[in-house]
Amino acid sequence: MSQRIRLLIEYDGRPFYGWQRQDDHPTVQGALEAACARLDGAPVLVQGAGRTDAGVHATGQVAHIDLAKPRPIRKIADALNHHLRPAPVSVLKAEEVGEDFHARFSATGRAYRYIIVTRRAHLTFDRGLIWRVPVRLDVAKMQSAATHLIGEHDFSTFRDAGCQAKSPVKTLDTLNVSSFDNRIEVTATARSFLHRQVRSIVGSLVEVGRGMQEPGWMKDILEARDRTTCGPVAPADGLYLERVMYDDHPWGK
C-alpha cells in the first residue's frame, strides 16, 4: 500500500526553467522527482499546487507524492533534502495525508508576493531575487490602481497568450501594495491565477507608480479585455509563490 505525503517546498527559481518537468532543461519538478526516485527506489510523480515560470521562486509551494515503500514520516524531509543537494530546493515539511488529497485540486487559495526595490545602483546580493526599478514609485497611486482589480473580473488583459486556463474570469481576493524605505511589495491572493497574471498586474502597477499612467487607467485596461493594453510584464525575478491554502489549514505559513 502506498503512502501519500504532502510536502512544503521552497526554491530559488534562477537555475530552473520553471516548475514543470522538461526533458532537456532543469526544472524544480524534475529535481524533486529525481530525489524522490532515489529515496523510493522507483520513479515517483511529484504533483505541485502551481506551475511557476522560469526564474520564479517559492517559499511555500506545496506538492504531494505517493511512496511505494512507506517509511517514518519524520525521516522523509531530511532524506529528500539529502538527495536534492546541491539544487537550491528544500523540503521544509512533510506530513502523511489521505489518498483523497491532491496538492493542486484540493487547494482553496494561493498567495503570491512580488518584491521591488527602487534604487539607481545595480543589485549586488539580490540580483535575480528582486526587481530593481531605478526611479521612485508612488505607492499610494499604485494601491489606488490596485483596488480596481479586486473581485471577480474577466482578466483577459492580464492573461498571457499561452495561458491554458479554460476561462479568463478569476476572482482576486486581495491585492495590496506596501512599502518600507525603498522596498515595495505587492501581495495577491486568489483561488487560482492565470498564466503570468501577477507579473502582468505588477508591470501595469509600476507604470502607474512611475507616473506614466493614472490609477483609473487600470480600470480602463481591465475593462478593455485586451492583452495589448497591458503594461510591460514584470520580470520573474521578484515573484514568489508564498502560500497555498487548504480547507484544513493554510499549510506552512
The arithmetic mean of pLDDT across residues 18-24, rounded, is: 94
DSSP state of 26: -
| Domains 3-96 and 109-245 agree in fold | yes
| Model pLDDT for residues 97-111, shown as the tens digit of each residue | 999 999 999 999 999
Q: Is 53 part of the annotated catalytic residue set? A: yes
* pLDDT over threshold 90, residue 158: yes
25 vs 30, 43, 54, 145, 179, CA distance in Å?
Answer: 9, 18, 11, 38, 36
pTM: 0.95
178 vs 163 pLDDT, higher one: 178
**Quick one: DSSP state of residue 251?**
T
Domain ranges of the chain: 3-96, 109-245
For the domain spanning 109-245, the CATH number is 3.30.70.660
- pLDDT > 60? residue 191: yes
SS percent in the chain: helix, strand, coil, step 5: 25, 30, 45
Amino acid at 5: I
- Check if the beta carbon of residue 54 is closer than 8 Å to that of residue 235: no
pLDDT digits (tens, 9 = 90+) for 31-67: 999 999 999 999 999 999 999 999 999 999 999 999 9
Q: What angle do CA 147, 141, 206 make, to 5 degrees?
A: 95
Beta strand extents in 57-212 (DSSP E only): 57-67, 89-96, 109-118, 131-133, 151-154, 169-180, 183-190
Give the active site residue among 12, 23, 53, 126. 53
**Residue for cell digits 512533510?**
94
Query: Residue 139: what pLDDT?
Result: 98
> In this structure, are residues 134 and 118 in contact, taking their beta carbons and an 8 Å threshold?
yes
Could you tell me which CATH number the domain at 3-96 has?
3.30.70.580
Question: Cell 487607467, residue?
Answer: 217
Instruction: Give the pLDDT confidence score for residue 1 in this predicted structure.
Output: 77
**Quick one: pLDDT band at residue 252, thresholds 50, 70, 90?**
very low
